[in-house]
């Protein structure tokens, strides 16, 4: 199950439009950013089953995270990992590499909201090897 979630997440995030709306990633909104030519704002939710995580990646965007339920662990390269719970926030910049993004629990699901400002049409996520 965990590997299926990881694969679905990685595949859904590689294009400029996210795939299946009933998967772990759901696009809520994506539109041009008023007054900033060539930029768009996207709002997504990410749901992690217990123990789920995503591979190392980057967003090439300013990303703002808000935890809706459960707890998650986030870390950008060169920075300390943080464990966030419901109502807490985290951010990453366009040059950050997201080395840890996972559910902190092996028994409870987690869900978070992400706002991103990025180049219009750019992918939400780019895997990093």
Per-residue tokens: 11: 């595949």
pTM summary value = 0.81
Residues 15-64 pLDDT 10s: 333 333 445 889 999 999 999 999 999 999 999 999 999 999 999 999 99
Q: Tell me if residue 73 falls in helix, strand or coil.
A: strand
- Residue 91, sorted as left (phi over 0), alpha (psi -120 to 50) or beta, turns out to be beta
**Domains of the chain (ranges plus CATH)?**
2-119 (2.60.120.10)
Residues 62-102 pLDDT 10s: 999 999 999 999 999 999 999 999 999 999 999 999 999 99
Tell me the C-alpha distance between 67 and 69, whole Å: 6
Cβ neighbors of 3 (< 8 A, separation 6 or more) are none
Tell me the C-alpha distance between 118 and 45, whole Å: 17
């Amino acid at each position: 199950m965990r590997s299926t979630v990881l694969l679905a997440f990685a595949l859904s995030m590689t294009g400029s439009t996210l795939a299946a709306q009933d998967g772990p990633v759901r696009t809520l909104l994506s539109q041009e950013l008023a007054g900033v030519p060539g930029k768009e704002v996207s709002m997504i939710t990410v749901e992690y089953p217990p123990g789920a995580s995503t591979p190392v990646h980057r967003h090439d965007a300013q990303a703002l995270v808000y935890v809706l339920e459960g707890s998650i662990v986030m870390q950008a390269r060169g920075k300390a990992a943080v464990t966030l719970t419901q109502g807490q926030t985290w951010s990453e910049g366009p040059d950050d590499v997201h080395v840890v993004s996972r559910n902190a629990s092996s028994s409870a699901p987690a869900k978070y909201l992400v706002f991103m400002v990025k180049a219009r049409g750019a992918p939400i996520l780019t895997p990093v090897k």
